[in-house]
Chain A
Amino acid sequence: MTTSGYATERETTEGRVFTVTGGDWDTVTGSIDPLSNEKIVVNMGPQHPSTHGVLRLVLELEGETVTEARPVIGYLHTGIEKNLEYRNWTQGTTFVTRADYLAPLFNEAAYVFAVEKLLGIEEQITDRARTIRLLFMELNRISSHLVWIATTGMELGAISMMLYGFREREYILDIFEETTGLRMNHAYFRPGGVAQDVPASAIKKIRDFLVYMPKKLKEYEAMLSGQIIWQERTQNVGVLDVTGCLSLGVTGPVLRASGLAWDLRKTMPYSGYENYEFDVPTAQTADVWGRYLVRMAEIRESLKLVEQALDKLTPGPVMIADKKIAWPAQLAIGVDGMGNSLEHVAKIMGQSMESLIHHFKLVTEGFRVPPGQVYVGIESPRGELGVHAVSDGGTHPYRVHMRDPSFVNLQAIPAMAEGALLADVIAGGASLDPVMGGCDR
């Protein structure tokens, strides 16, 4: 019997249950008879087992070998899909951006592409808006991969990697803040274009970042790639081949690390990706090491894309010309710190009653979307992010479903973990890069 202040134990009908809070593993194993009780069920989570969110893993162990793994999700379910049905189509971006919080711009992009496809206005999106979207999605892909390398490094014992990864990510979040006003949850992409033009100061920061980042990537590789512990923890760990990936629906870097160059940016291009030059990095190892190599290479490809997008960025409007969809005013931060447009206020209050009515109707009621359904899939940092949007002809979505790659990819945890060691569950799970906000929505 334990007398420790940390571990408590109680008898239940299912057997003896321990609550372990760290540092007291010996007391638990000490009170289990190794001959008669070989099997232990360990509840990992639901509080952060890593920094990916609230995920719970129920692991059945024999010694240190996992015999059964069962992921339990739903702790971060916030009903985003249901909420969308009671807001207008434009307000929807504010909700979807909060799903996968490490790749907010991808959520917005998939959603606005779906709305634009429903409206049939894809061709009318201005070049500048299209380029800005691509530019910001690629910056977001870099920041998301940086969080992956940072947290995975931390989980596998390379603590300094976490500090470096988050430091560089902050650089990108500064660029986002400069442009959208927020570090995360931007609601920057809107049906018809983007909310604001990119300020010149942000363009300069992006240019600086393009010089800064490659050096840092070399630093990461110098720190990790040759590191024997890093290699031992990642090579031949969490193996999932192409067949396994496709039958479990796993896409993104995990699929590409098993050798299949399936990247929706190349295979089903959208938003003008067909006009850019970039490669789809793959690896043949199908393990955590391969996923590391693929993600590092993808950051480099994204830098190439960002550079090309900056060169293609020609002046022009960032919102569709159609007045039935475009927000009437280009808001700017006023002296009072509020978003305002004095010119527009002068017009609607002084000259044009119709403009005032139009503005009011568009903002309070929103635009109508012809009935029908569409599915749009884009390549998020974690794989295929799909939005299935249904309209009944009203000003609100009738139904929006987000096919989040974290949700689908997490199904692969049992396939990777069962039969492996307990420590490899962490490496395998982290290599999927799950974000629970997206998974549970």
Chain B
Amino acid sequence: MSVEPNAEPAGANLGAPAQTPASPDKGMFGIHGTGDVSGFGGLVRRRPANADSPRPFGGYFDEVHDALEEAYPAFADAVEKVIVDRGELTLHIAPEKIAEVCQIMRDDESLRFELCSSVSGVDYLGSDNRRLHVAYHLTSLTYRRRVRLEVAVAPGTPVPSVTAVYPTADWQERETYDMFGIVFEGHPNLTRILMPDDWEGHPQRKDYPLGGVPVEYKGAVIPPPDQRRVYQ
């Protein structure tokens, strides 16, 4: 049996584009909705609690709250919300006041949060206009306490840098800028740190497009993870 050279295998369509345009309502298996057939998938997701926690907060939280109130004259303007959840205290701070609050938190002798453990961003896409949050986790070595300060800004609004108070925030703010595009005003050298210098976009934002994988088989493509059939 002779095989003709360059014969096309049956079914192959070499002229097909390598990628088919993504269809928003069709996932990898043509599933509509969540793909959940158990009947238990109709649960509505709740957003994290947004209401102020009632006093007393319990533990050392009241002490920290009151000490900051006493030491910081602009407390009423600066603290937007106080939330106690899962044994952790979160103070939501007005973005423009964060550096001042950190200064008080570090220096006041009844607060003494000497160490800024972590700075990280969260993108609450779809919550409200101020969707980008920055969480500062402060640790007091004197009192063995932790507290979280959180600020929320709209994309494009700068946040004052806390590097003058906590030099350790230098790289962590750079990472938050790199991943979320939050600009820290007064940072000595706000450049990308993990992504290449010429990268475009900020990958940890929730609306950052994810890549799919063209498999080059009859025009098929493995869709990006957020478009695959998934149980949310």
Contacts and interface: CB of A to CB of B under 8 A. Distances in A.
Interface of A: 73-74, 77, 79, 81-82, 86, 88, 117-118, 120, 246-251, 260, 262, 267-268, 357, 361, 364-366, 368, 371-375, 377, 384, 386, 388, 390, 392-396, 398-399, 401, 403, 407-408, 410-411, 440-441
B105 to A, nearest CB: 14
Contact of B117 (A86, A377, A411): A377
Contacts of B55: none
A375 B88 contact: yes
A403 B117 contact: yes
23 contacts: A74-B196, A81-B204, A86-B230, A249-B117, A262-B141, A267-B141, A357-B38, A373-B88, A374-B86, A375-B117, A375-B137, A386-B117, A390-B122, A399-B123, A399-B204, A401-B118, A403-B120, A407-B175, A410-B171, A411-B168, A411-B171, A440-B194, A441-B194
- Most chain B Cβ neighbours within 10 Å, of A268, A392, A410: A392
A305 to B, nearest CB: 21
B141 A398 contact: no
A39 to B, nearest CB: 21
Interface of B: 36, 38, 43, 45-49, 85-88, 90, 114-118, 120-123, 135, 137, 139, 141, 144, 146, 148, 166-172, 175, 192-196, 203-204, 225-226, 230-232
B170 A388 contact: no
Contacts of B172: 403, 407-408
Nearest to A118: B86
Contacts of A390: 48, 122
B151 to A, nearest CB: 14
Contacts of B90: 373
A81 B144 CA distance: 28
Contacts of A86: 225-226, 230
Contact of A388 (B120, B168, B169): B120
4 nearest interchain CB pairs? Answer: A249-B168, A401-B120, A403-B118, A365-B231
B137 A388 contact: yes
Nearest to A251: B115
A441 B139 CA distance: 23
Given A374-B86, A440-B194, A386 B45 contact: no
